[in-house]
Amino acid sequence: MKTARDERVSEAEIAVHWQEEEYYQPPVPFIKQANLADPAIYERFAPERFPACFAEYAELLDWYRRWDTVLDSSHPPFWRWFVGGRLNASYNCIDRHLARFKNKAALHFVPEPEDEPIHHVTYQELSYRVNEFATLLREVARVKKGDRVTLHLPMVAELPIAMLACARIGAIHSQVFSGYSAKSLADRIIDAGSSVLITMDAYYRGGRLLDHKAGADQAVELAENGGQRIEKVLVWERYPGRYSSKAPLVEGRDCLVNEMLKGYHGCRVKPEESAAEDPLFLMYTSGTTGRPKGCQHSTGGYLSYVTGTAKYVEDIHPEDVYWCMADIGWITGHSYIVYGPLALAASVVIYEGLPTWPDAGRPWRIAQELDVNIFHTSPTAIRGLRRAGPDEPAKYDYHFKLMTTVGEAIEPEVWRWYHDVVGKGEAVIVDTWWQTETGGFLTSTMPAIHPMKPGSTGPAMPGIYPVILDDEGREIPEGSGRAGNICISNPWPGCFQTIWKDPGRFVAQYYARYCRDPESTDWRDWPYMSGDGAMQGEDGYYRILGRIDDVINVAGHRLGAKEIESAALSVAEVAEAAVVPVADEIKGRMPELYVSLKPGFTPGEDVRQRVTAAVTAEIGPFARPKQVIMVPDMPKTRSGKIMRRVLAALSNGEDPGDVTTLANPEVVEEIRQIRNALSG
Ligand code: WT7
């Protein structure tokens, strides 16, 4: 029998089937200095200690007022953590460190051009800069507590400064990845209802100084057409005093931040005493429909969770130099570049540009220069560096104690290069599985406790109780060799609070499918559905297979199939579009786009290019399809549904299975031939 599921693209289904791998033991010198080497933590976070166990993470923070209730679960699935507690995130990431660490670097900003000096921002200087900018936000942009402020900033020190300034005054920041197009930025401005946009004139990427402000102007116009007026655009300058964009400044609307800040020298703002449940930020992610989801994260629960997990899994001590080579525009950067590491008083590296610029030795030169000892990145970056410079790490004198990988599954072979060559056999590796929605890590080995296993993420984090469910909601046991939908059976403090302005979609998307009783007020009836396929080994380690819904994870960033398809459909000749994930050597997966044309149009290079251009313009260059394949018709069910599954099989050189029940089975062979001819 065919079910609706059969029409879905499933990454889990095209996942590679790796063998079980050998264990690697954590190095003894690492264990000796680790924040956590005692497995008793798993007893402290045992199910019978839930939810009180999570107070251990909250106690890592400074509170103006202690919470009354650790977890209020009376309105499922809208969990409320540390109710009654009051705190400020910027206070916890800056002020409380000043007594001991004011002259220590908080940020090391590394410009992409190698001849530009590294900027070392001490905690003291960070405090000045955040306070001054927070004053400007209040006085010039009139930002108040609870207002949403959209940021479209590249990887520069001004990005965490702007986030922390928002947090200081209780405003909700919404940073949109700088690679997103003006259209995507506008959609997020509208959804968040922001009237203030913070951007930068220009930034370096791949050796070029890109004009960034021009995109802001377009986005403001598109947002206004969509009903959301931006009153103020705050523009930082990449080179203060030397405006580097061709876009003119709009009188009354645009302000040059660096210029204006001169008038706020030494100004201080008392941190807002936010309730634990006040939102700290929105982070948009792609879903199965075209509309992005604004994941709303709390102040108290989120900050507690990322601080606790950064301390134990990233093993951050104040004396560490920590480099997460990801973009702050994604959740990884929010949790494990900004909030977690700064709450722990680490020195954090922020690198502006491409890892392989000007050559694949760059990351290792940065590590050597700054004595980086914790390194965090994605399998995509590791694959890219391995291909471009397999022998580069050995040329540089740096020593990592810990490295992480996140965002997608890592092939064991790539893992071993990371371990042996990048880590020089000295570093422990953690493979952390989590999502934008979950705020922090869900599964990972504890670096000084568990052996590592390439390709597996490890057991669940303390206090996290995953279950793998089949389509009927039955539990798939560990060691069964079968995969299913991985869910978390209990709430945890890092979990997002809701989808901004759309609580119905929040419930429908994450809880409805496996909720045992919609009337129940017992959290046990409300498992969180992650949307990933997974299996659990006999050793309890989870292996994540990928998305089970219409979402494609490209280089560790989620893209909705619908978003890409509707961009393709904006090209006049296109009648139908279907996107599927295709395996890619460097990026793990890429979107491959099938299009059919309206009657009377002939396929050609010109249409293909315009389809690619439409996707790049609507979403951003990182969504560019690997190939656009023009087909006479899509494989369809008798009821007219496009069978993306069949296309996914063709794209990945797999057997599409029984296609005789299709309305047009003959088209499958035709498509295969067209695709083969294209791929040469
Ligand atoms: C999706 C979440 C987590 C922050 C970066 C991405 C995939 C994430 C792993 C891992 C295999 C992973 C999942 C997940 N994923 N980590 N260690 N092994 N797959 O955040 O954009 O919200 O994407 O990334 O499919 O659902 P995101």
Interatomic CA distance for residues 656 and 677, integer angstroms? 18
Contacts of 219 (CB under 8 A, 6+ apart): 152, 182, 183, 185, 186, 189, 197
Atom of ligand 1 nearest to the CA of 332: 4
Using DSSP's 3-state secondary structure scheme, residue 344 falls into: coil
Pure H helices in 15-96: 28-33, 41-44, 55-58, 89-93
The finding on whether 549 has its CB within 6 A of some atom of ligand 1 is no
What was the pLDDT predicted at 661?
Answer: 86
**Does residue 86 contact residue 77 with C-beta atoms inside 8 Å?**
no
Cα 537 from Cα 185, distance rounded (Å): 41
Residue 401 beta carbon below 6 angstroms from any ligand 1 atom: no
DSSP assigned state of 527: P
Closest C-alpha residue for ligand 1 atom 14: 435
Q: What is the DSSP letter of 566?
A: H
Pocket flag, ligand 1, residue 334 (CB < 6 Å): no
Q: What pLDDT score was predicted for residue 345? A: 98
Residue ranges in the chain modelled with pLDDT below 50: 1-9, 14-16
Q: Give the number of the atom of ligand 1 that is nearest the alpha carbon of residue 531.
A: 26
User: What 8-state DSSP symbol labels residue 460?
Assistant: B
Compute the C-alpha angle 165/319/267, nearest 5°: 25
The protein residue whose alpha carbon is closest to atom 1 in ligand 1 is 435
Helix (H) or strand (E) holding 132: helix 123-139
> Can you tell me which atom of ligand 1 is nearest the CA of 434?
3
For the chain, the first-to-last Cα distance in angstroms comes to 36
Q: Whose CA is nearest to atom 2 of ligand 1?
A: 435
Q: What are phi and psi of 574, to 5 degrees?
A: -80, 130
What pLDDT is recorded for position 8? 44
Per-residue pLDDT at 512: 96
Ligand 1 atom with minimal separation from the 11 CA: 25
Q: How far is the CA of 565 from the centre of ligand 1 (A)?
A: 22
Ligand 1 center to 143 CA (angstroms): 33
Residue 286, ligand 1, Cβ within 6 A:
no
Per residue in 97-124, pLDDT (tens digit) is: 999 999 999 999 999 999 999 999 999 9
Q: How many CA atoms lie within 13 A of 126 on its CB side?
A: 37
Buried b (16+ CB within 10 A) or exposed e, 429-455: bbbbbbbbbbbbbbbbbbbbbbebbbb
Length, in residues, of the chain: 680
C-alpha 613 chain-centroid distance: 25
Q: What is the pLDDT of residue 665?
A: 93
CA of 38 to the centre of ligand 1 (A): 28
Whose alpha carbon is nearest atom 25 of ligand 1?
546
Q: Which pLDDT belongs to residue 18? A: 62
* Edge-to-edge strands, sheet with 528-536: 466-469, 484-488, 528-536, 542-547
Query: Encoding tokens for residue 676?
Result: 């083969």
**How far is ligand 1, taken at its centre, from the CA of residue 456, in Å?**
13
Q: Is there an atom of ligand 1 within 6 Å of 434 CB? A: yes
Distance CA 589, CA 609 (A): 21
- The single-letter DSSP state of residue 291 is S
Is the link from the previous residue into 358 a cis peptide, with omega within 30 of 0?
yes
The number of the ligand 1 atom at minimal distance from the alpha carbon of 410 is 18
Please name the amino acid found at residue 579.
Answer: V
Q: Where are the beta strands (DSSP E) in 325-483?
A: 347-351, 374-377, 402-406, 428-432, 466-469
Classify 112 as helix, strand or coil.
coil
pLDDT recorded at residue 321: 98
Whether 13 and 648 have beta carbons less than 8 Å apart is answered as: yes
Distance of CA 676 to the CA centre of its chain: 34
Residue nearest to atom 23 of ligand 1 (CA): 435
- In ligand 1, the atom with minimum distance to the C-alpha of 530 is 26
Integer Cα distance of 44 and 50 in angstroms: 9
435 Cβ below 6 A of ligand 1 = yes
Q: Residue of the nearest CA to atom 19 in ligand 1?
A: 408
pLDDT tens, position by position, 64-93: 999 999 999 999 999 999 999 999 999 999
CA of 272 to the centre of ligand 1 (A): 33
- Say if ligand 1 is within 6 A of residue 433 CB: yes
CA distance 343 to 63: 13
Q: Kindly state if the Cβ of 331 falls inside 6 Å of ligand 1.
A: yes
Nearest alpha carbon, ligand 1 atom 24: 407
- Ligand 1 contact, 438 CB (< 6 A): no
